[in-house]
Structure 1
Amino acid sequence: MRKRNIDIHLFLNEEEFYVLDELSVKTNLSKSQVLRFLLSTSNLIEAPPIEYKVLIRELRAIGNNINQLIVIARSNGILNISELKKHLDELDLIEDKMHEAFDFRK
């Protein structure tokens, strides 16, 4: 009985097949062995969860608001401290949410 009993069908374009074939020839391994080796040695990075995109969108919106406030303050010679503080506090909250949602210490 085979050690590997799961059959996977893989579709490649000509360029991808050429790369696989070249690796097979250069390493003197079968195409299956090359693919198994690549699977076992690759360090793929997981895609961030959907919430990450939402948080980034919120951060951009807050950043745009802060930039608009600064432009207005400079053009009028005034600075609305309370409005600026409000947006900076929102930014701090989102940063805290990001740290909770994505443990960067992993």
Structure 2
Amino acid sequence: MREIAKRVSLRLDSTEYAHLKQLSIDTGLKMEPVIRRLIVGAELRPRPPGELTELLRQMSGVAVNINQIAKVANASGFARMEDIAHIKMMQGMLWRAVKEL
């Protein structure tokens, strides 16, 4: 970890402080890291929505299911129609979840 050697005191009016606080809330960072990133010209990105974690978990589960079905299909030489229908149903659920974000 790098050493922080210098300390800077900063005075802000209420509008500037409110803007800094809003940036902090939007990015999920404390005010000090927001100021540091602004100084070096880094792009501040908003924090991803909380639902993103659940969506990624669901997508991972779908990927695992598809991989298992593909493994069985490769071993047996065919895929069951009910497995394909299950994949399509899960894909539809994920698309709906993505659109809601």
TM-score range, shorter chain: 0.5 to 0.7
2:67 maps to 1:67: yes
Q: Which structure: larger Rg?
A: 1
- C-alpha distance in 2 between matches for 1:44 and 1:76: 51
Taking structure 1 as the reference length, the TM-score comes to 0.56
The answer for the alignment partner of 2:14 in structure 1 is none
The answer for the alignment partner of 2:99 in structure 1 is 99
> 2:62·2:90 contact (CA, 8 Å) conserved in 1?
yes
TM superposition outliers: structure 1 runs of 4+ over 3 Å: 30-33
Counterpart amino acid of residue 91 in structure 2: L
- C-alpha distance in 1 between matches for 2:46 and 2:58: 22
5+ residue gaps in structure 2? 12-34
- CA, structure 1 residues 36+90, in 2 after alignment: closer, same or farther (shift >3 Å)? closer
2:51 maps to 1:51: yes
> 2:55·2:94 contact (CA, 8 Å) conserved in 1?
yes
What is the CA-CA distance between 1:72 and the residue it aligns to? Answer: 0.3
What is the CA-CA distance between 1:55 and the residue it aligns to? Answer: 0.8
> 2:73·2:79 contact (CA, 8 Å) conserved in 1?
yes
5+ residue gaps in structure 1? 1-12, 25-29, 102-106
Indicate the SS of the match to 1:32. Answer: coil
Taking structure 2 as the reference length, the TM-score comes to 0.58
2:32 maps to 1:32: no
- C-alpha distance in 1 between matches for 2:37 and 2:47: 22
What is the CA-CA distance between 1:65 and the residue it aligns to? Answer: 0.4
Indicate the SS of the match to 1:79. Answer: coil
Counterpart amino acid of residue 77 in structure 2: G
Q: Percent same amino acid at aligned positions?
A: 21
